[in-house]
Amino acid sequence: MPTNRAQILDWIRNYAVVIRENRDYLTQLDSAIGDADHGANMDRGFQAVVAKLPTVEDKDIGTILKSSGMTLLSTVGGAGGPLYGTLFMQFGTAGVGKEELADTDVVAMFDAGLKGVVNRGKAEVGDKTMVDALTPAVAALREAVDKGEPLPAALAAMRAAAEQGMTGTIPLVARKGRASYLGERSAGHQDPGATSSYLLLKTAAETLTK
């Protein structure tokens, strides 16, 4: 079954709820190695995205995702704005003119988003950023779809890989962003960007298969 526009809209709305529920948790993580604003910034941004959805919910999937990215760029502060804005704008490139996405389109969507974040932030795996969660997740999704696994199983593999990547940031020394200023003291803390990325993919796994 292809992924339809209603599921994409539900994914975005559900993620806004998840971010609201985890706002304090993300802030707590960010207070250890950042500016203690990731939770508040993400919450503000996705509440703005949800408020904008009624103006685009009858459009194609690409327009919905690109609009979400533009809203994030203009409302999320810190590093999260450019990175999540880019993520969603690049998600939209796989859905241009489409009312539904084949499984290969879903892979292309997440792959484009990851590449956009890497190009924007110049981070790589091991730098203790959201890339540590996104990279293995997209690889797991692509591998599962290439093997012909149904999308629910592929998204479950993506979620599991994202979780492993997220927890894998704990021992890392940050090499990018505000956390990098702490040097060795950044080790022992889970990266907030990797955490919000995991929550995004977890929400996708729970929503895009219904």
Torsion angles phi and psi, residue 128, rounded to 5: 70, 60
- pLDDT confidence of residue 89: 97
Domains in the chain: ranges and CATH:
3-207 (1.25.40.340)
Q: Burial of 148 by CB count in 10 Å (0-12 exposed, 13-18 middle, 19+ buried)?
A: exposed
pLDDT greater than 80 at residue 70: yes
Q: How far apart are CA 141 and CA 155, in angstroms?
A: 6
Among residues of the chain, what percentage have pLDDT more than 90?
A: 80
pLDDT greater than 60 at residue 181: no
CB 175 within 8 A of CB 128: yes
pLDDT greater than 80 at residue 88: yes
pLDDT greater than 90 at residue 202: yes
Q: How far apart are CA 208 and CA 210, in angstroms?
A: 6
Model pTM? 0.95
- pLDDT confidence of residue 179: 64
